[in-house]
Chain A
């Protein structure tokens, strides 16, 4: 047994042994319920079921048609892209309160590069992402080097970036807080289609022809496609879940958030992991900025206002602990969908949509209580 170190790296260690061991009769099967209870996203799934049942009973049935689902998914996707990045960062043990302001600031940089800088769309997108990545790295390095709580450092950037967005907008427009004309100057083409409008239009036309989905009398489907943001949302959720649960980097995220010292002692590059996560949240904010700016054709200083809180709420509903080291990306995905369902769904009911914030606060409180309970169960903490 003392020789197995080197073998392990090559994945060639002790071939026959594990298989025999796996059938050891003393290892009783773990019950399905126990295994479910161990999943951090259980609360979010339960919440989604609850919310769906609630709206199923109270809302106009139009909410559950294809068109209704798309109206719910659009805002859910924008929030979800942020929430998934915020969830990974929270599992890694840090917060980023600057992502809302980062949306406004990235929107400004992107808009100014196109309108003032006359850059082609692709170049502007790449430049904006590089810039955002640098901002994220700065956030991360300040947190790591000063060992200050990321809560405070990124709170400072919440104001700095929001203020800079205002200043920059007035500079770029000569006094206004709204920069127009981005949509026209961005032009059309493949790159534009990746970041704005709808996708899968051919599929939807075909589905309508085959009578699978609702269509107008002239044969065009009532829903012509999926907003590209929704596809980004799905792709990012799948990728983040894979990285978190199946890769080495994912294990390092859990370790860095669970106990940075223990992780360092075991050889995990904690600082690199945390910096990467800050870069990712900044890039997620930028993606949302580009998606929304191209759809609206303009950008303004209020873009992304309070999105940092909504993203963190969605992540917490998705099972992330505020203390780090525990949570899930797919949970944040469901959290964002709950968010979208409640914000849009209330307009389909007879309730005043002012109830939204009450509902939201209630969900958050319930989620935190539930997560706490589940965590104690899962870890046998007393």
Chain B
């Protein structure tokens, strides 16, 4: 961390290409995200969002292109590597286990332990206290850290997953469509939390195909189409409907939108 230049973005990728056999999933994607910034990654289905996330989080190795973390080139071989580098991904399917308690989920794979010898035990006093504390910070009043994650609402679960990543020292959060399955109130809860995370100085990559949600929290917008970046725009430089058209490939949607009285 000390050797990196002051202004180096947390994550920068240049011309990332990813082939799966003869299928070209990504054909030259570039983006960067700095500390204290929310980069929205927009794209319709099949634009290559999922492949890009999986590449950034260490699940896939890029076929070619540059991948820099804080100015230094990296080559992740597993999600663990990416996690160790401070890149945490909150997947759409949440990586939460509904039947397990909030505490057990929060510390899954990174349980705090005490004691000696082969029978070290989990420090549940600490784990419960931390869980309650962290949930409290983001405004979720959990009655009891023993309660199963399955009893939480979808928005709360997303927030727990994000809180977990933040607690374990993520520098960059990759959020894979965190609002796609949520209602209005729950969505605003998650968006508010994204705002909070940015204020803490983390970089956020927010993947969505909902322009409205993106515009609410994003600082910059990168639009993906057919495995390529169509461009990156600062919030000041683009209006919401322009963004919408860009994402859907322009003209056709505009025509449909006019047909439907501008409601798309």
Contact = CB atoms under 8 A, between A and B. Distances in A.
Contacts of A30: 143-144, 146-147
Interface in B112-156: 112-114, 119-126, 129-130, 132-133, 136-137, 141-144, 146-148, 150-151
23 contacts: A1-B167, A1-B200, A4-B167, A8-B112, A11-B126, A21-B132, A24-B136, A30-B144, A38-B146, A242-B119, A246-B121, A248-B120, A254-B99, A254-B100, A255-B109, A261-B93, A261-B95, A263-B108, A266-B109, A268-B109, A378-B150, A379-B98, A379-B151
Contacts, number: 144
Given A21-B133, A248-B113, A379-B148, A258 B100 contact: yes
B148 A263 contact: no
A267 B111 CA distance: 11
Nearest to B108: A266
B83 interface: yes
Contact of A4 (B91, B123, B125, B169): B169
A19 interface: yes
A94 B139 CA distance: 38
A375 B133 contact: no
A2 B88 CA distance: 13
Contacts of A14: 130, 133
A242 to B, nearest CB: 7
Nearest to B163: A1
A2 B166 contact: yes
Nearest to A2: B200
B55 to A, nearest CB: 15
B32 to A, nearest CB: 20
Given A38-B146, A262-B95, A8 B108 contact: no
Contacts of A5: 167-169
Interface in B168-193: 168-169
B98 A258 contact: yes
B209 interface: no
A190 interface: no
A259 interface: yes
Given A1-B166, A247-B122, A255-B100, A267 B110 contact: yes
A325 B150 CA distance: 13
Interface residues of B, number: 52
Nearest to B90: A265
B19 interface: no
B96 interface: yes
B80 interface: yes
B79 A265 contact: yes
Given A248-B111, A379-B98, 12 more contacts: A4-B169, A11-B114, A21-B132, A27-B142, A27-B144, A35-B146, A251-B122, A252-B109, A259-B97, A262-B96, A262-B97, A267-B83
Contacts of B89: 265
A42 to B, nearest CB: 15
A145 interface: no
A24 B169 CA distance: 26
A187 interface: no
B148 A378 contact: yes
Interface string A12-32: 011001110110101110100
B85 interface: no
A247 to B, nearest CB: 6
A252 to B, nearest CB: 8
A35 B97 CA distance: 19
A381 interface: yes
A19 B128 CA distance: 11
Contacts of A6: 169
Given A4-B169, A5-B168, A11-B126, A267 B109 contact: yes
B46 interface: no
Contacts of A326: 99
